[in-house]
A and B are shown apart, each in its own frame.
Chain A
Amino acid sequence: MYVAVKGGEAAIANAHRLLADRRRGDRSVPALRLDQIVEQLGLAVDRAMGEGSLYDRELAALALVQARGDLIEAIFLVRAYRTTLPRFGYSEPIDTGAMKIERRISATFKDLPGGQMLGPTFDYTHRLLDPSIVGEDAEVPAVRGVEDEQAPRVTDLLGRQGLIEPDGELPEGHEVGDLTREPLDFPLNRDLRLQALARGDEGFLLALGYSTQRGYGRTHPFVGEIRIGEVEVEFDIPELGFAVSLGRVRVTECQMVNQFKGSAKIPPQFTRGYGLVFGQAERKAMAMSLVDRALRAKEFGEDITAPAQDEEFVISHSDNVQATGFVEHLKLPHYVDFQAELDLIRRMRAEFEGKREAAE
């Protein structure tokens, strides 16, 4: 008798063994290799990298296997690794204008310098399950991508005519924040908001972005441009006095062009919502740009009436690693607190009965 709280250590060890077994599954099926995941589940890898805030395909693939395909668990693994890495410094801002583009579309202009490039997109595929793609023998002809091209950004084209607000300028002397190194302090500046959104949960941002389209904080968005491709990451080395290239990363950028705004000083201009995500993550980048614009309501003197416009609400709840931890912590034992409640409710019920009997 009375063994309920004993044996925690053994129970944990057993659970972990079982987990490892279930992760591996049927031993007669070949084990996954990381390169298979990197190559064939690329968008899952991209999401783990993006929301894990660590650009490393192989690590993300490992996290996916270790998490048995649970994306949020994989993101968590990546984050917990990332946090222990030393910081050497901050790179120069990447120049998406100099991106080697694989996909680039604009919904605002039919044709434009650089042209529209559909790239590897699910758009216009018919969502019919296709058994012919699986198996060793499935043949897919190799396609050499068009030579990666460069093209001016749509917002730069609009900007040259002053039709859209310039890229956000930070206040004088403001150093770009780092939400992984400094505690959040509401209200935030846009730099920190964008960081939070870039690692925010795709599903949460998607739902919020969607809500703005349905009238909860409308922003009248147009997709100025979505571009996916590789950009150079440069790092300024003070000893050298110039920036050196560290390599290239693939990113997805979405520039949303939104309803105009003017004031006594500035003639009406379109405003921007911005999304930038590691890898190919178009849905996330679009949702991010909608939410970014919605969160700028205060800056433009708009009424804050909808959840997507509420900075504390959105940013405090957008991180899925935080959210899953706190939701799931409810399964930890709470019996001490519950005992306290149990005791109180029994007392109150006894009093209630006592009063009723006295009244009868």
Chain B
Amino acid sequence: MSDEPLLKVSNLTKFYGSRLGCADVNFELYPGEVLAIVGESGSGKTTLLNTLSANLEPTSGEALYRMRDGSWRNIYELSEAERRFLTRTDWGFVHQNPADGLRMTVSAGANVGERLMAVGDRHYGCIRDTALDWLGRVEIATDRIDDQPRSFSGGMRQRLQIARNLVTGPRLVFMDEPTGGLDVSVQARLLDLLRQLVGELGLSAIVVTHDLAVARLLSHRMMVMKGGHVIEAGLTDRVLDDPREPYTQLLVSSILQV
């Protein structure tokens, strides 16, 4: 891991009218680091993720991102063109429901290739080879390249969504319950794959999950949210093995009973 962080978040707060989404969130994320945000539904973790990924405008606070040229930029002050460029090159977003992140009526190959074409790749053969390579890396049979994701299983769709996001070599990936809605056996395989890819590519990732097992397997550090506030943060093993807050203790004990 590098000495310099990739993302510096300070005092990030989001209100929906008078209702609190999340408040006073502070953290730094380093290259290659995976941060899990856990909490039950309504805790503000999804609001935080959507704000961090610039899908929502915060009410106050800032998030500084170290661009590829080394300059620091507050992501909320980027122009729309810069932001959209960032989100389709240097960032990825893995949705819980793959249909939200894929073009369901376009072939798997084009789903993977779209980002390449968006940044100017104009060689069909190269785009196709890259797509084939990525399908292989996410364990999708290469003879499915011309099939639409509609004909894919839930696990395959999720793996395709991951490939689609990673093809431009992003440095930061946001994931919203990436294993939610999948069977337990499929979940395990996907987690394995994710962990391997993140490690190989040295990706930074912010993963929202209600599942502590996901946090344990994937993340280096974690933040526990409740009522819009971060109530506990630290190294994942520390938080899970030695939770300090009563609420975290409750969460941890409930998972252990499963």
Asked if A and B form a direct contact in the complex, defined as CB atoms under 8 angstroms apart, the reply is yes
- Name A263's closest neighbour in chain B (CB-CB): B17
The complex places the Cα of A264 from the Cα of B15 at a distance, in Å, of 14
Name the distance in Å between A263's Cβ and chain B's nearest Cβ: 8
The complex places the Cα of A239 from the Cα of B104 at a distance, in Å, of 63
Q: Which residues of A contact B17 (CB under 8 A)?
A: 263-264
- Name B19's closest neighbour in chain A (CB-CB): A264
Does B18 reach chain A (CB closer than 8 Å)? yes
The complex places the Cα of A264 from the Cα of B16 at a distance, in Å, of 12
The complex places the Cα of A263 from the Cα of B18 at a distance, in Å, of 10
The complex places the Cα of A158 from the Cα of B18 at a distance, in Å, of 29
- Name A301's closest neighbour in chain B (CB-CB): B17
The complex places the Cα of A263 from the Cα of B19 at a distance, in Å, of 12
Contact residues on B (Cβ < 8 Å of other chain), bracket = under 10
Number of interface residues of A (CB under 8 A): 2
* B 1-24 contacts with A by CB, 8 A: 17-18
Q: Which residues of A contact B18 (CB under 8 A)?
A: 264
The complex places the Cα of A172 from the Cα of B18 at a distance, in Å, of 26
Contact with B along A252-263 (1 / 0, CB 8 A): 000000000001
Contact with A along B217-258 (1 / 0, CB 8 A): 000000000000000000000000000000000000000000
Name the distance in Å between B18's Cβ and chain A's nearest Cβ: 5
Name the distance in Å between A305's Cβ and chain B's nearest Cβ: 16
The complex places the Cα of A263 from the Cα of B17 at a distance, in Å, of 10
Name the distance in Å between A353's Cβ and chain B's nearest Cβ: 21
Name the distance in Å between B21's Cβ and chain A's nearest Cβ: 15
The complex places the Cα of A264 from the Cα of B18 at a distance, in Å, of 8
Q: Which residues of B contact A263 (CB under 8 A)?
A: 17
Name the distance in Å between B17's Cβ and chain A's nearest Cβ: 7
Contact with B along A233-276 (1 / 0, CB 8 A): 00000000000000000000000000000011000000000000
The complex places the Cα of A264 from the Cα of B19 at a distance, in Å, of 11
Contact with B along A34-46 (1 / 0, CB 8 A): 0000000000000
Q: Which residues of B contact A264 (CB under 8 A)?
A: 17-18
Name the distance in Å between A191's Cβ and chain B's nearest Cβ: 27
Name the distance in Å between A300's Cβ and chain B's nearest Cβ: 13
Name the distance in Å between A308's Cβ and chain B's nearest Cβ: 24
Name the distance in Å between B23's Cβ and chain A's nearest Cβ: 18
The complex places the Cα of A87 from the Cα of B17 at a distance, in Å, of 45
Name the distance in Å between A68's Cβ and chain B's nearest Cβ: 44
Name the distance in Å between A304's Cβ and chain B's nearest Cβ: 17
Contact with A along B190-210 (1 / 0, CB 8 A): 000000000000000000000
The complex places the Cα of A172 from the Cα of B17 at a distance, in Å, of 23
Name the distance in Å between B227's Cβ and chain A's nearest Cβ: 20
The complex places the Cα of A216 from the Cα of B17 at a distance, in Å, of 27
Name the distance in Å between B20's Cβ and chain A's nearest Cβ: 14
Name the distance in Å between B57's Cβ and chain A's nearest Cβ: 16
Name the distance in Å between A264's Cβ and chain B's nearest Cβ: 5
The complex places the Cα of A263 from the Cα of B16 at a distance, in Å, of 12
Name the distance in Å between B3's Cβ and chain A's nearest Cβ: 46
Name the distance in Å between A302's Cβ and chain B's nearest Cβ: 15
Name the distance in Å between A117's Cβ and chain B's nearest Cβ: 44
Name the distance in Å between B94's Cβ and chain A's nearest Cβ: 24
Name the distance in Å between A158's Cβ and chain B's nearest Cβ: 26
The complex places the Cα of A264 from the Cα of B17 at a distance, in Å, of 9
Name the distance in Å between A299's Cβ and chain B's nearest Cβ: 15
- Name A264's closest neighbour in chain B (CB-CB): B18
Name the distance in Å between B136's Cβ and chain A's nearest Cβ: 26
The complex places the Cα of A197 from the Cα of B18 at a distance, in Å, of 35
The complex places the Cα of A40 from the Cα of B17 at a distance, in Å, of 57
The complex places the Cα of A229 from the Cα of B18 at a distance, in Å, of 46
Name the distance in Å between A26's Cβ and chain B's nearest Cβ: 55
* A 261-308 contacts with B by CB, 8 A: 263-264
The complex places the Cα of A105 from the Cα of B18 at a distance, in Å, of 41
Contact with B along A106-130 (1 / 0, CB 8 A): 0000000000000000000000000
Name the distance in Å between B205's Cβ and chain A's nearest Cβ: 31
The complex places the Cα of A11 from the Cα of B18 at a distance, in Å, of 70
The complex places the Cα of A184 from the Cα of B120 at a distance, in Å, of 33
- Name B17's closest neighbour in chain A (CB-CB): A264
The complex places the Cα of A130 from the Cα of B20 at a distance, in Å, of 67
Name the distance in Å between A226's Cβ and chain B's nearest Cβ: 36
- Name B18's closest neighbour in chain A (CB-CB): A264
Contact with A along B16-40 (1 / 0, CB 8 A): 0110000000000000000000000
* B 138-183 contacts with A by CB, 8 A: none
The complex places the Cα of A81 from the Cα of B17 at a distance, in Å, of 50
* B 113-136 contacts with A by CB, 8 A: none
Name the distance in Å between A101's Cβ and chain B's nearest Cβ: 42
Name the distance in Å between A81's Cβ and chain B's nearest Cβ: 44
User: Lowest 3 CB-CB distances: which A-B pairs, in order?
Assistant: A264-B18, A264-B17, A263-B17
3 contacts between A and B (CB under 8 A): A263-B17, A264-B17, A264-B18
